[in-house]
Copies of this chain bind each other. A is one copy, B any other.
Amino acid sequence: MLVVMDSDATAEQIQTVIDRVRELDLTPHPLPGATRTAIGITGNTAAIETSLFETLPGVKECIRVTKPFKLASREMHRDDTVIRLPQGTFGPGHFVVIAGPCSVENEAMIQRTAEFLMENGVRFLRAGAFKPRTSPYAFQGLGLEGLKILERVRQRTGIGIVTELMDSEYVSAVADAADVIQIGARNMQNFSLLRKVSQVRKPVLLKRGLSATLEEWLMAAEYVMSGGNYQVILCERGVRTFSDHSRNTLDLSVIPPCKSLSHLPIIVDPSHGTGRRAYVPAMALAALAAGADGLLIEVHPDPDRAMSDGPQSLDFAGFQKLMDQLQRVARVLDKSLN
């Protein structure tokens, strides 16, 4: 940590900072400069809030050098995390496609989609039983009945289930139905919910919040990991910017720094990220090329009649065409498509 003093800080103010540092069992290193003094602090500063210094008189700012996340950090865990499930592996050399409709509309369409996916080499189905909707008047999902549909389809087809948990009340119901528990973007900083899933022993797919920095996202992962659940899969799904050319701004540029700061796998949701079916294939291919570990993608047997998110869902033919392209690009990048 580095405490930067005002250019006209007094010797006494500098001494006060130094004393405060020592009170905390840390070591101060005063650095007198041309225009101001800075004070380096060494020792275990991770648990120290910068505010302890920022409010002292004569202090200009306080700069944290060490990142506040530990378990999610590559510095603490050099090798990439590999999450192995019966249906596929998240980690280096793999590219996992998770596909399906936005919501569980009825059993027939889920069954039909699952069969289609399995036939096309996709072994994870995504579909929401609980749907976070911006309007209280919109379709909110089938709830527990939806979960039961997913369980029956899993039993019949063997497909892996990825489904969203929105409410701590349903943790165990969702954990039972799901192979991977999804936490939505709007709940990325629902810390109560994160603590709940940190107690579960199922992988958690953690979507990036609409305005979350990479550090905040990794801190949310840290919440899950700090409770003992180390199987976190990050999912970029578009962020909120001034741009209006698509529903959100899909931020593929987060992938390389994420890989640099953390060992966790990261996948991309080009469907929510763009909000438009026509833009999905290009972004899906780009995600693969950018180094993502997989995709979360919306496909629907009849997107024009979907109960939610139809405009961003591929139909079966469009999806097959995309899988074919992904296959070819994955091959030259030495990745095996799930």
Q: Which of A's residues lie within 8 Å of B, judged by CB?
A: 2, 4, 6-8, 29, 31-36, 38, 40, 42-47, 49, 51-52, 54-56, 63, 65-66, 68-69, 75, 132-138, 140, 166-169, 186-187, 189-192, 195, 209-211, 213-216, 219, 222-223, 226-227, 238-246, 249-258, 260, 273-274, 276-279, 282-283, 285-291, 303-304, 306, 308-311, 325, 328-329, 331-333
Taken together as a complex, chains A and B put the C-alpha atoms of A239 and B244 apart, in Å, by 13
**Bound Cα distance from A256 to B276, whole angstroms:** 10
Which residues of B have CB within 8 Å of A222? 135-136
Give, as a whole number of angstroms, the nearest-CB distance from A127 to chain B: 17
Set of chain B residues within 8 Å of A256, measured between Cβ atoms: 274, 276, 278-279, 282-283
Are A213's CB and B33's CB within 8 A? no
Given contacts A256-B282, A278-B256, A278-B260, contact A242 B241 (CB under 8 A): yes
Structural contact, A168 and B166, CB atoms closer than 8 A: no
10 contacts between A and B (CB under 8 A): A2-B2, A8-B75, A38-B40, A46-B137, A166-B191, A168-B169, A246-B253, A249-B253, A253-B274, A329-B329
Could you say which residues of chain B place their CB within 8 Å of the CB of A35? 66, 75
Q: A29-B40, A55-B311, A167-B168 are in contact. List 16 more A-B contacts (CB 8 A).
A: A7-B75, A29-B31, A33-B43, A38-B65, A68-B135, A136-B223, A169-B192, A211-B239, A215-B244, A241-B241, A246-B253, A249-B253, A252-B253, A253-B283, A289-B290, A331-B332
